[in-house]
């Protein structure tokens, strides 16, 4: 399973960096995606990174504010979140994904073959 960490309470406009690591083994063989679920909201996919080329995709709601990347050892995937907004408040999870569906703007719309998510991390954006 994958474990997300790094959440917390931050003011609007602030930043957080989330981390995703495997409880056992390595992330290297997998595409990794982040999704979130806010209070009373449906699950929303927000970003993913491919396993070999490190190609990245973002939902329209976070494009330009969030960045997904791997560490040099390729065993941790990070989600750098800048200019956070109250609507970003949610529990954030990472998962292995087989692929991604894009919308007409090449924004991330959904994952397919999502698996291995574990405990999420709470992000609260509030003044």
> Per-residue pLDDT tens for 27-53?
888 999 999 999 999 999 999 999 989
Residue range 65-87: average pLDDT? 93
pLDDT at 86 over 80: yes
Contact 27, 89 (CB under 8 A): no
Q: How far is 81 from 62, CA to CA, in rounded Å?
A: 9
In this predicted structure, what is the pLDDT of residue 35? 97
Q: How far is 127 from 118, CA to CA, in rounded Å?
A: 29
55, burial (CB in 10 Å: exposed 0-12, middle 13-18, buried 19+) = exposed
Q: How far is 78 from 91, CA to CA, in rounded Å?
A: 15
């Amino acid at each position: 399973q994958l474990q997300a960490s790094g959440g917390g309470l931050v003011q609007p406009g602030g930043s957080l960096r989330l981390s995703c690591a495997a409880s056992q083994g390595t992330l290297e063989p997998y595409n990794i995606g982040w999704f979130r679920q806010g209070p009373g909201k449906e699950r929303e996919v927000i970003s993913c990174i491919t396993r070999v080329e490190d190609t990245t995709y973002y939902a329209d709601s976070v494009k330009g504010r969030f960045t997904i990347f791997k560490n040099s050892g390729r065993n941790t995937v990070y989600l750098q979140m800048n200019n956070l907004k109250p609507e970003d408040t949610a529990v954030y999870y990472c998962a292995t994904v087989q692929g991604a569906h894009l919308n007409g703007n090449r924004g991330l719309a959904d994952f397919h073959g999502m698996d291995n998510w574990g405990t999420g991390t709470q992000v609260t954006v509030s003044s």
